[in-house]
Amino acid sequence: MNFREILARRAALELNDGEYVNLGFGVPTAVSNYVPEGVEVILQSENGCLLFGPTPKLGEQDADVGNAGGQPITLQPGASIFDSGVSFTIIRGGHVDATFLGALEVDQNGNIANWALPLAPGRYSPGPGGAMDLVTGARKVVAMLQHVDKKGTSKIKKNCTLPLTGAGVVDVIITDQAVFHVNAAGLVLKEIMAGSTVEDIRKITEAEFTVADDVCEFRLS
């Protein structure tokens, strides 16, 4: 199981019956494939879709219907397709219960940076997209990312080093190693990947955190 599947499976457990949920660009788009049985959610894509489902089988895709990453999706009965103006009215109007966003960095203050990789002085890529609207308009923000970068440096920071998408907006952080909840006091470690210990997580985490009394093994189902 690769890190994308790990993140998507765990993130899907944050879904609650009846919610309107936005799945952002990148890894979060895969969450639609792991919605728990018995949970009905209305999935929304910022590019203009409401009430979609999992990735279709090869040969069954419709090139005119895609998620935030342009990947094919299935439409559920009653689904709607509309322009981005309507989509962002839904988001900015406070009609989204939760948004799942990929992140480059998050920190112990609930800040998230997910849009700007420096290319040159004053130049960043790929751009903010709809994330800034989502972290403001959604009632719950779930950040999904690998715990460390390719050099082994923690992406869970004391303070984000990249330009912020939103300040103090993250509620839950899901990595391929752990799950943190964010509250007024900072990060609380809630789940640890099987085979790891609290001290293992501390070694790969720059941010400070406390440990929940009910900390448990990382859940995938």
| 46 catalytic per annotation | yes
Domains of the chain: 3-217 (3.40.1080.10)
- The pLDDT tens digits of the residues spanning 158-200 come to 999 999 999 999 999 999 999 999 999 999 999 999 999 999 9
170 or 128, higher pLDDT: 170
Q: Name the catalytic one among 14, 46, 105, 191.
A: 46
| The pLDDT of residue 118 | 78
Q: How far apart are CA 94 and CA 6, in angstroms?
A: 29
- The pLDDT tens digits of the residues spanning 47-73 come to 899 999 999 998 888 888 888 888 999
In this predicted structure, the answer to whether residue 121 has a pLDDT above a threshold of 90 is: no
192 or 127, higher pLDDT: 192
> Residue type at 14?
E
Concatenate the DSSP letters of all residues of 148-194 into one string. Answer: B-TTS-BSEESS--SPPSBSS---EEE-SSEEEEEETTEEEEEEE-T
- Are the beta carbons of 164 and 112 closer than 8 angstroms? yes
CB under 8 A, 24+ apart: contacts of 197-202: 201/177
pLDDT band, residue 126 (cuts 50/70/90): confident
Q: Which candidate, 194, 190, 193, 196, places its Cα nearest to that of 171? A: 190
pTM: 0.95
| The pLDDT of residue 117 | 80
Q: Over the Cα atoms of the chain, what is R_g?
A: 17
> What Å distances lie between residue 194 and 6, 34, 97, CA to CA?
12, 20, 30
Q: How many Cβ atoms sit within 10 Å of the Cβ of residue 68?
A: 24
In this predicted structure, the answer to whether residue 127 has a pLDDT above a threshold of 80 is: no
- Provide the 3-class DSSP secondary structure of residue 69: coil
- Are the beta carbons of 35 and 18 closer than 8 angstroms? no
> Residue type at 116?
A
- The pLDDT tens digits of the residues spanning 84-117 come to 899 999 999 999 999 999 999 999 999 999 998 8
Instruction: Provide CB contacts within 8 A for 74, sequence distance 6+.
Output: 52, 53, 54, 55, 56, 60
